[in-house]
Chains A and B, each alone.
Chain A
Amino acid sequence: MSLDKILAELEKRLATQKIELPLLPEVAGKVMSMTSDPNADASHLSALIHRDQALATNVLKIANSSMYGGNVRIVSLQQAVSRLGMKLIREISLAASVQNSVYRVPGQEATIKALWEASVASSAFSREIARLRRKNVESAYVCGLLCGIGKPVVLKILAAVLKDLKLTLSLEEVIAALDRTHIPISLRIAEEWKLPQQVAETIRCGDDFTSAKAFEDEVQTICLARQYASFLLSDPQVTKESIVAHPVTEALNLYPEDLEELFARCETIQQLIAAAR
């Protein structure tokens, strides 16, 4: 009963309250446009990262993580670029800048951590699914990373609702509430940030992949990626069997052996999540 009351109040505030949307992080914006900027190079991005101390720290931390680190400790961004390559630095920068600017809600660290990990896992699985299906991985990655971009914003409001109503929710209930309510806010951010159209469509459809009016492929890919992400992050609702039986696997035309191949990537993706923490 209290969950319904909380949701009703949350939805009321989302509909009536003036909501401050996060600004597109400078680096994220640059990363987005770099894909079509012929003059973009490593030095431009390095300079940008240098200007954002928190981001620079994050990039260096990831570069030195067990997944990417070699024998020599990386102490500069130049070194990071030469070891990890521009491609990876771009991905790390995009992820880290979004994390820094959006995934920050004081007092809600546990939820933010869960949301962030789900986002990183979804983007990683999206990329693997796309590669397996001979589709462009760049599109899948961006959609996977940003399909829940409004959740931290909604979380801020939810936290205020809970405080005002003097109620509490479990982490699972909070996540479920965000899943149910984030779409309009995520769509507004996508519009504000001028994200690719496929990101907006994957947000709009959520797990209802059959409702895709365009970018069917991306929508289905993200839907399955989220299932794998939940499985990896030990969501009790998602099991290996439930993934195999999920109708989106049929829509994506993934056979049992393909799904097995994706399960085999769990360990690598787990390392990636650990590195992105």
Chain B
Amino acid sequence: MSDALQFDFIIVGSGPGGQEAATQALRCGKSVALIEKERDIGGHCLHHGTIPSKTLRETASNLARFTKHATGFDFAFKENVQVESLMSRKDAVRHAHVKAIAKHIHGVSYFRGKGRIVDPYHVEITDIKGNKQVLKGKFIIIATGSRPRSPDNVPVDHEHILDSDSILSMIYLPSSLVVFGAGVIACEYATIFASLGVQVTLVDSGDRPLKFLDPELTDRFVKSFEESGGTYLGNEQIDKVEWDDVAHVVTKLKSGKIILSQKALVALGRVSNVEILQPQNAGLTLDKRSLLVVNKDYQTLHPHIYAVGDVIGFPALASTSMEQGRRAVCHALGIHPGSMFENVPMGIYTIPEISAIGLTEQEALAKAGKIYIGKTDFREVARGEISDIENGLLKLIAGPDGREILGAHIIGEGATELIHLTQMAILAKLPIDVFIENVMNFPTLAEAYRLAALSIRDQREADERAAAEAAKSTE
């Protein structure tokens, strides 16, 4: 391996984590080898996941809005509407994004092929024609992403029983769909297809979907999903799923329930792409969920080998993977990565959108003891009423002093954008009063912040008055 090409950084995987790592390393003047096994750079997120599904979501969301307000129209899909026609902008978006990424990572040495760790400093690439080449790196960043998990008791055939990769290449919209799982991907697709008029049943082993979210938001999510025609079945275990060779996917639940559907979507988590990489050749360990084990700085057992993104597990979002990639490179080069990373927003592109940052009510209570909560139903603000937003809610959480912002949780259209106001306020250590004392555009949904903050201030002032009176009476 003495003839191995040498680089400062070898980055395996060109998804969001790999891209940001490459960009940061280039910015610092380092030589970078970027290895990607797929045809195009961008990773699963761009080609099979986030971006294509969001273009379908855009259509579904527009459709839901249109049909809701289309009194006087008799609206229906054409017979045999094709799924592809509902994602007409997918390829344009994808190509534009690939172009943008290529621009950002201009200067990297790009290798198309499968990367395999040979030892802690060497990575072997096997290209599409089977040719091999070995690279040597001072630092290695593993960002190989993940793929859908296929549980043993659900036979995914990519025809009737699909996973989140094959669902988007269905020709026609099915009349009914069972979705297994209740994580982000399951809930996003369940609401998208329900909005497109498909009879969707969401089957979940837990008692509520999206369990990492504030329960008040998930309650609203379930309500909204069921109002759009979906059915949520919680606390259910899958016994058997099979295509009946006739016309239906038959789902037998351990409770005895049987569901018949035209198609099924398996969204029961993802598994990390580490087999081809063979991290064990460098002595790297995987946890019981086959995730790479890293410390808070994303270092594996070998301090010069980092892992970021889906291969290290939760939250496995494109946004967090990007930041992990950037931070890994900063850490490797001894550069301070900047302000706090703990407070990353979480965006879930269900219909309606959900977003959250900071502590949930339960976490805040456990941590701070006393907290203040301000809530605004989107119906209370003019923009919410104008847009006829149902089930929209903003929940703002302040600490024991009634000023420090501990978290915000939003459901409703625009949630994933609105959350950034809280993010900036937390980063700048601004009190909740900032939402009261400053002018925001009217009518906008941001007004919900003002109402929630006013509620917290009222509670805080009431407590302060009570405390003052109590102090007075003690005197």
- Asked if A and B bind, the verdict is yes
Which residues of A approach B to under 8 Å, CB–CB? 32-33, 35-38, 40-42, 81, 84-88, 130-131, 134-139, 142, 196-198, 214-217, 244, 249-256
Q: Which residues of B contact A36 (CB under 8 A)?
A: 79-80, 172-175
Instruction: Evaluate contact between A137 and B158: CB separation under 8 angstroms.
Output: yes
Interface residues of B in 143-168 (CB under 8 A from A): 147-148, 157-160, 162-163, 165-167
Q: Which residues of B contact A255 (CB under 8 A)?
A: 114, 126, 128, 130
Instruction: Evaluate contact between A136 and B162: CB separation under 8 angstroms.
Output: yes
Describe A's contact surface by its main secondary structure: helix
With A40-B247, A86-B247 known to touch, is A136 a contact of B171 (CB < 8 Å)? Answer: yes
Which residues of B approach A to under 8 Å, CB–CB? 37-39, 79-80, 82, 84-85, 91, 114, 126, 128-130, 147-148, 157-160, 162-163, 165-167, 169-176, 243-247, 262
Residue in B39, B82, B244 whose beta carbon sits within 8 Å of that of A251 in the complex: B39
Residue in A135, A197, A252 whose beta carbon sits within 8 Å of that of B85 in the complex: A197
With A197-B84, A214-B91, A251-B39 known to touch, is A81 a contact of B246 (CB < 8 Å)? Answer: yes
Q: Which residues of A contact B39 (CB under 8 A)?
A: 250-253
Q: A208 vs B169: C-alpha distance in the bound complex, in angstroms?
A: 22
Contacts A36-B173, A139-B169 known; list 5 others, CB within 8 Å: A42-B247, A136-B159, A142-B171, A197-B85, A253-B128
Within the complex, the shortest CB–CB distance from B177 to chain A, in Å, comes to 12
Within the complex, the shortest CB–CB distance from B299 to chain A, in Å, comes to 31
With A86-B245, A86-B246, A255-B114 known to touch, is A35 a contact of B172 (CB < 8 Å)? Answer: yes
Describe B's contact surface by its main secondary structure: loop
The residue among B114, B162, B166 with the most chain A CB atoms within 10 A of its own CB is B166
Q: Which residues of B contact A37 (CB under 8 A)?
A: 175
Instruction: Evaluate contact between A256 and B129: CB separation under 8 angstroms.
Output: yes
Q: A98 vs B406: C-alpha distance in the bound complex, in angstroms?
A: 65
Within the complex, the shortest CB–CB distance from B379 to chain A, in Å, comes to 36
Instruction: Evaluate contact between B128 and A250: CB separation under 8 angstroms.
Output: yes
Instruction: Evaluate contact between B159 and A42: CB separation under 8 angstroms.
Output: no
Q: A197 vs B154: C-alpha distance in the bound complex, in angstroms?
A: 31
Instruction: Evaluate contact between A215 and B38: CB separation under 8 angstroms.
Output: no
Q: Which residues of B contact A134 (CB under 8 A)?
A: 147-148, 158, 163, 165-166
Q: A181 vs B244: C-alpha distance in the bound complex, in angstroms?
A: 42
Within the complex, the shortest CB–CB distance from A96 to chain B, in Å, comes to 18
What 7 A-B pairs come out closest when comparing CB atoms? A85-B245, A38-B175, A136-B169, A86-B246, A36-B172, A253-B39, A134-B165
Q: Which residues of A contact B157 (CB under 8 A)?
A: 131, 137
Instruction: Evaluate contact between A41 and B128: CB separation under 8 angstroms.
Output: no
Within the complex, the shortest CB–CB distance from B49 to chain A, in Å, comes to 12
Within the complex, the shortest CB–CB distance from A260 to chain B, in Å, comes to 10
A257: nearest chain-B partner, CB-CB? B130
B127: nearest chain-A partner, CB-CB? A255
With A137-B158, A256-B130 known to touch, is A87 a contact of B166 (CB < 8 Å)? Answer: no
